[in-house]
Amino acid sequence: EAGVAQSPRYKIIEKRQSVAFWCNPISGHATLYWYQQILGQGPKLLIQFQNNGVVDDSQLPKDRFSAERLKGVDSTLKIQPAKLEDSAVYLCASSYTNRGRKETQYFGPGTRLLVL
Amino acid sequence: AQSVTQLDSHVSVSEGTPVLLRCNYSSSYSPSLFWYVQHPNKGLQLLLKYTSAATLVKGINGFEAEFKKSETSFHLTKPSAHMSDAAEYFCVVSEGDMRFGAGTRLTVKP
């Protein structure tokens, strides 16, 4: 079974530029998550989708971050404009259902973003 | 709201000696608890999870963890460390959404 795919793996941009990350979850997984992992910290949930609807985006900085999952499969996370503090690894994860706390999430390799 | 504390930011052991990575949690309900491992430049991989069944949970690669409600702990152990175990380990508590600890970096010396 193919895992969660993410691209690009690395991205370097200057502050105030925009950037987009792509994620393709495991086939058949209804729930998709985007996490931000700052160096030396654990991942922090940014947004959770159930199919093509948003379940939780309470920690997404909506003035600069946006995400979509239009067809309920792959997803795009965008930052516009980027700030220095956005430098982090952006992880995508998926799970089969939205059974919440018991559901295992499967993670992609992440996109490492450096904002200069 | 739930939270998790990993008591050691860095643990160093010699190959062949036991591993103990400590995790305490705070939760209003009966939580689900997970341990994930992250190797450099790789995605997070599930080691094991506790979901209110047996309190001693066995995972992959010889790791296991014991859920102790009275101590609100979920420590990760392995009897004998291998060089390949060197990685970052995350304890996770979930009441609905997952909250990650800050991570423990495990170093294994030859």
pLDDT for residue A25: 96
B31/A101 CB distance under 8 A: yes
List the structure tokens of A9: 């793996």
Confidence check: pLDDT of A102 > 90? no
Confidence check: pLDDT of B53 > 80? no
Mean of all residue pLDDT scores within chain B? 92
pLDDT for residue A101: 55
Residue A41 is which amino acid? Q
In sequence order, which residues have a C-beta less than 8 Å from that of residue A37 and are 6 or more positions away? Answer: A43, A44, A88, A89, A90, A91, A110
Q: What is the mean pLDDT of the segment spanning A93-99? A: 81
Q: What is the pLDDT of residues A28-79, one digit of tens each?
A: 999 999 999 998 889 999 999 999 899 889 999 999 999 999 888 999 999 9
Q: What is the pLDDT of residues B1-38, one digit of tens each?
A: 788 999 999 999 999 999 999 999 998 777 889 999 99
Residue of B nearest to A39 (CA): B102
Put simply, the chain B residues between 7 and 36 with a CB less than 8 A from any chain A CB are 31-32, 34, 36
Residue of B nearest to A109 (CA): B43
